[in-house]
Structure 1
Amino acid sequence: MRLNLIMAGLLTMVGTGTALAATQGISDDVIRIGVMTDLSGPYSATGGRGSIIATEMAVAEFGGEINGKKIEIFTADHQGKPDIAASTARKWLDVDHVDVITEINNSAVALSVYNLAKDKNALVLATGPASDALTFSSCIPTGIHYTYDTFAFANSSVNGLAQTGKKDWFMIAADYAFGKAGEKASRAALAKVDGKIVGGVKFPLNTTDFSSFILSAQSSGASVIGLVSAGADTVNAIKAAKSFGVTQIVAPQFLFIQDVHALGLETAQGVVFGTAFYWNRTDETRKWSEEFYKRMDESSMPSQEHAGQYSAVYQYLKSIEQLGTDDAQAIVADWRGKPINDMFAQNGHLREDGRFVHDMYLAKVKSPAESKSPWDYYDIIATVPGDQAFRPMDQGKCDLKAQALGK
């Protein structure tokens, strides 16, 4: 009985606090957005400058200001190091008065930022990291995991290949938080289709020689070689598989259009994987992507991360415009109370655990003969509804009530 009274009081306080925040206006009369990304490492092509440009495009939609309040963009290179990320985030929040930290395209880095944001009640739009730990035991009240996660990627690829009878996998996984979460998600997805993992190896970030890993996978006899990797690591692994004449299906859990571009269709053709976005899917995605392409000096079409970054920042600014405040709790409450749809998010909604749920897509890389224009690389062969793609909330370990009680 006493616990129920405590919880009722807490909920009343949260509701009252949100209502009061809506009357506070814009803090410091400036809306400050911090884009923390990889500008120099393995994820710089899929995030990096493109994520900054995507942010600028979202800000441009509002003319650079909201209700006369200027919008400023801060940028930083986290260098793949959690300590650098935490130090930068602390300065942004304490000294520069940044209102929201976005992108953070490295799972270990994102977890360090989440820990800091939790203590400071700061809003984080995690559009780049993939580890589903962000909506599992590491969730925070003001953290929104936006674009994708390891569970959704694993679910999409495992289920798609299981329908063709391919259910025995060998896993090659990155040896850090993202890789571990991805392998765990694959195991869970395979269990649901009576599949199994027959073996696996782990590799360090920024590996250039995948020979030994690919040979181990090849000799395992598995039907599918699953790659839980990203960026240059994925490209190097697929190249190695090609050079050794691997006949098994190589199924990257985390593939971006920049990876396919680097590989070339001759090498990447036939790969099937889950994705949150494809630039050539609809008229709306094409229109936005062509503008992005111009701003990138025609060097790259947007990755799913770039599209997620634009969408998250746009929706954030839209909430500020409607609410009249940049208060973190008010923004989160606003998102939870409405459906979200734009050129990226289809059937989007924010759950209590911070997971932004939206449709995912099953893509197959085209052959050179099937591609009709530059960057025309995918066939979208299925739409996976968000509630089927992402892990059900009741299977997670996000307990915001316990956090509120200080447990």
Structure 2
Amino acid sequence: MKRILSGMVAAVFALGASAAQAQDKPPLKLGGILDMSSLYADITGPGSETAAKMAAEDFGGEVLGRKIQIIAADHLNKADLAANIARDMLDNQGVEMLFDVAASATALAAGEIAKARNKIVILNGPGSIRLTNEACGPYTVHYVFDTFAQANVTGLAAVKSGLDTWFFLTADYAFGQDLEKDTSNVVTKTGGKVLGNVRHPLNSSDFSSFLLQAQASKAKVIGLANAGGDTVNAIKQSAEFGIMKGGQKISPLLAFVTDIDSIGLETAQGLLLAEAFYWDLNDDTRAFAKRFQERVKRPPTSAQAGVYSSVTHYLKAVKAAGTTDSAAVMKVMKETPINDFFAKGGRIREDGRMVHDMYLFEVKKPSESKGRWDDYKLLATVSGNEAFQSLEQSRCPLVKK
């Protein structure tokens, strides 16, 4: 009896010690570097932070005996600030993985910090194709979209429908320049012509002089190589100038459902746009959107949906690898297909590109919409292999040719 009691006491102490040891483990910190207050705040911002927290909660709140903690910081769309935040998160705050890093210039800056420290960075909001070309890294993942896919899906469809002369209104930084370049390549290779371009500062409020140049070009399409508030303002002001009524088409080369809501269907109707995700695609997307909207009061953008999907994929890989070591976790992430509401059969290639289906949408007329956020008609589903740059075209040093 004494031996039995002694064994029971020892077992209780062992369990207590194990629990205490688990509680003593530091939290697994994931850091979002976001635009919380400026022109991309609706696209990523607080919604991306919420999506990451939802992913952590749905995973059970801990992994490998460590509580999952989501932290976020506002980079104010400044590359140097994004780099400083990344440095502080990784060096001083114990962050193991960075996510989102909305905007391309900020992503390029923060990505170099993560690369130097052999830390995983998953990019959801940025679009520059450079992120999986010259700036690729062994632990960098470009998850949602990029300028090549946006140009390939939207530009190709437009030129094939007869919209074969283009003028670009471009945000003057890495993302805008790459989006213009990639779309120009698609237009010319498909038999179209580029009649000119004009570049505007980031976060512009007055597009009048730029739009007058675009209008004077007589191009059939004015391609907006910008995003967020810049896209919204450019479309609204083009309507005020009567550009669309004059017969020219406005093509937002990157637009989100939040942008269309800001513009309104009366002005946005008929726009063609490429997206990686739409909340009303199927039962799975609608189920996630309903949960997200309960917290954020609107559906998720593709970037925010991508945050949830990518954080979940990362946590599953940490659990499977049994460690947070970047090499071990990334190996599992690249070996494991992604099948969830965001992507079916998605995969992370050696250059860090997550390949998945893309969608071509047309913005509905007001008479076709059943209510707020019912904004898109699906025109085509484009497979990831068709939408994204091939490995043969890649300029990533990691790609073996």
TM norm. shorter chain > 0.5: yes
CA shift for structure 1 position 345: 1.4
Q: Are the equivalent residues in 1 in contact too, given 2:265–2:363 (CA < 8 A)? A: yes
Look up the equivalent residue of 1:250 and give its one-letter code: I
- Taking the aligned partners of 1:67 and 1:137, their CA distance within structure 2 comes to 35
Structure-2 residue corresponding to 1:286: 286
Structure-2 residue corresponding to 1:204: 201
Look up the equivalent residue of 1:62 and give its one-letter code: F
CA shift for structure 1 position 68: 2.6
- Taking the aligned partners of 1:62 and 1:351, their CA distance within structure 2 comes to 25
Q: Are the equivalent residues in 2 in contact too, given 1:106–1:129 (CA < 8 A)? A: yes
Of the three residues 212, 217, 227, the one matched with 2:224 is: 227
- Taking the aligned partners of 1:28 and 1:353, their CA distance within structure 2 comes to 33
CA shift for structure 1 position 276: 0.4
Are positions 1:339 and 2:350 aligned together? no
- Taking the aligned partners of 1:128 and 1:184, their CA distance within structure 2 comes to 19
SS, match of residue 315 in structure 1: helix
- Taking the aligned partners of 2:235 and 2:344, their CA distance within structure 1 comes to 31
CA change 1:193–1:308 in 2 (3 A) is same
Structure-1 residue corresponding to 2:87: 90
- The answer for unaligned runs of 5 or more in structure 2 is 1-21
Task: For CA contacts below 8 A with separation 6 or more, give which structure has more relative contact order.
Answer: 1
Look up the equivalent residue of 1:277 and give its one-letter code: F
- Taking the aligned partners of 1:265 and 1:283, their CA distance within structure 2 comes to 24
Of the three residues 53, 57, 69, the one matched with 1:56 is: 53
- Taking the aligned partners of 2:129 and 2:278, their CA distance within structure 1 comes to 22
Structure-2 residue corresponding to 1:370: 368
Structure-2 residue corresponding to 1:349: 347
CA shift for structure 1 position 194: 1.3
Supply the RMSD in Å over aligned alpha carbons. Answer: 1.5
Question: How is 1:234-313 mapped onto 2 (pairs within 5 angstroms)?
Answer: 234-246=231-243, 247-296=247-296, 298=297, 300-313=298-311
Deviations 1:75-96 (A, max 9, x none): 1001111111111111111111
Question: How is 1:7-26 mapped onto 2 (pairs within 5 angstroms)?
Answer: none
Deviations 1:87-117 (A, max 9, x none): 1111111111100000111111101111111
- Taking the aligned partners of 2:197 and 2:339, their CA distance within structure 1 comes to 39
Q: Are the equivalent residues in 1 in contact too, given 2:26–2:66 (CA < 8 A)? A: yes
SS, match of residue 99 in structure 1: strand
Deviations 1:384-405 (A, max 9, x none): 1001101112212110279xxx
CA shift for structure 1 position 218: 1.1
Are positions 1:195 and 2:192 aligned together? yes
Report the TM-score, using the length of structure 2 for normalisation: 0.91
CA shift for structure 1 position 217: 0.9
- Taking the aligned partners of 2:399 and 2:129, their CA distance within structure 1 comes to 19
CA shift for structure 1 position 176: 0.4
Structure-2 residue corresponding to 1:8: none
Look up the equivalent residue of 2:184 and give its one-letter code: R
201-210 vs 345-354, greater mean Cα deviation: 345-354
Q: Are the equivalent residues in 2 in contact too, given 1:273–1:362 (CA < 8 A)? A: yes
Structure-2 residue corresponding to 1:158: 155
- Taking the aligned partners of 1:28 and 1:91, their CA distance within structure 2 comes to 21
- Taking the aligned partners of 2:204 and 2:91, their CA distance within structure 1 comes to 36
- Taking the aligned partners of 1:229 and 1:293, their CA distance within structure 2 comes to 26
Structure-1 residue corresponding to 2:317: 319
Q: Are the equivalent residues in 2 in contact too, given 1:190–1:196 (CA < 8 A)? A: yes
- Taking the aligned partners of 1:277 and 1:205, their CA distance within structure 2 comes to 25
- Taking the aligned partners of 2:154 and 2:203, their CA distance within structure 1 comes to 24
- Taking the aligned partners of 2:49 and 2:140, their CA distance within structure 1 comes to 20
Q: How many residues align?
A: 375
- Taking the aligned partners of 1:190 and 1:340, their CA distance within structure 2 comes to 32
Look up the equivalent residue of 1:390 and give its one-letter code: F
- Taking the aligned partners of 2:45 and 2:77, their CA distance within structure 1 comes to 12
Deviations 1:155-184 (A, max 9, x none): 011111122111111000100000111011
Deviations 1:239-265 (A, max 9, x none): 111111112110001101111011110
- The answer for unaligned runs of 5 or more in structure 1 is 1-24, 403-407
Look up the equivalent residue of 2:147 and give its one-letter code: T
Look up the equivalent residue of 1:395 and give its one-letter code: Q
Q: Are the equivalent residues in 1 in contact too, given 2:105–2:173 (CA < 8 A)? A: yes
- Taking the aligned partners of 1:328 and 1:224, their CA distance within structure 2 comes to 45
CA change 1:176–1:396 in 2 (3 A) is same
Structure-1 residue corresponding to 2:380: 382
Are positions 1:109 and 2:106 aligned together? yes
Q: Are the equivalent residues in 2 in contact too, given 1:347–1:386 (CA < 8 A)? A: no
CA shift for structure 1 position 191: 2.6
- Taking the aligned partners of 1:52 and 1:311, their CA distance within structure 2 comes to 13
Q: Are the equivalent residues in 1 in contact too, given 2:320–2:332 (CA < 8 A)? A: no
Percent identity of equivalent pairs: 44
CA shift for structure 1 position 29: 4.5
CA shift for structure 1 position 57: 0.8
If you compute each CA radius of gyration, which structure gives the higher value, 1 or 2?
2
Look up the equivalent residue of 1:245 and give its one-letter code: G
Q: Are the equivalent residues in 1 in contact too, given 2:350–2:399 (CA < 8 A)? A: no
Deviations 1:347-392 (A, max 9, x none): 3111111111110000110011100122101011100100110111
